[in-house]
């Protein structure tokens, strides 16, 4: 799942070769790729979380779009709507950061290593109870 970085390295690296291939919505921060990404060499895409993938047939880069079409129409992202455990939330960044801090503080009572991973750098915040690399080698960036 794309972390939708505040300053996305993927956007910066892609736009060194192809202008306007990545759009970052000012209101939501959603980082969205378009068909122009097929002109980009996949090897040149910088992502500390190793998220984007390239369609082998079309060569277009793909990743989570933060359901940009849904949120611009007043709906929440599909993953949040369908999450069976309620573990995913979507909303105002400040409120989400406050929720994450409270959740981490509560988790630390049982799991001393609990943390929010890179909350100041991304819009999709993961909360873990152990070393982030135990979840995914690039969970905390690389």
**pTM of the predicted model, to two decimals?**
0.89
Which has the closest alpha carbon to 122: 112, 132, 113? 132
Q: Tell me which H or E stretch contains 62.
A: strand 61-62
Residues 104, 126 contacting (CB under 8 angstroms): no
What are the residue boundaries of the structural domains of the chain, listed by start? 9-82, 93-134
Tokens 């939330």 appear where? 89
pLDDT in tens, 14-72: 999 999 999 999 888 999 999 999 999 999 999 999 999 999 999 999 999 999 999 99
Matching CATH number, 9-82, of 3.50.50.60, 1.20.1290.10, 3.30.1330.10, 3.30.70.20: 3.30.70.20
């Amino acid at each position: 799942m794309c972390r939708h970085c505040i300053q996305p390295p993927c956007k910066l690296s892609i736009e060194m070769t192809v202008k306007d291939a990545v759009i970052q919505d000012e209101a939501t921060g959603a980082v969205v790729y378009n068909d122009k990404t097929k002109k980009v060499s996949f090897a040149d895409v910088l992502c500390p979380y190793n998220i984007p993938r390239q369609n082998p047939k079309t060569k277009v880069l793909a990743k989570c779009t933060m359901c940009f079409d849904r949120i611009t129409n007043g709906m929440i992202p599909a993953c949040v709507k369908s999450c069976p455990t309620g573990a995913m939330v979507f909303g105002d960044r400040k409120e989400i950061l406050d929720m994450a801090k409270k959740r981490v503080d509560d988790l630390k009572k049982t799991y001393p290593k609990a943390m929010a991973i890179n909350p100041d750098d991304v819009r999709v915040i993961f909360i873990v109870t152990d070393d982030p690399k135990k979840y995914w080698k690039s969970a905390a960036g690389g």
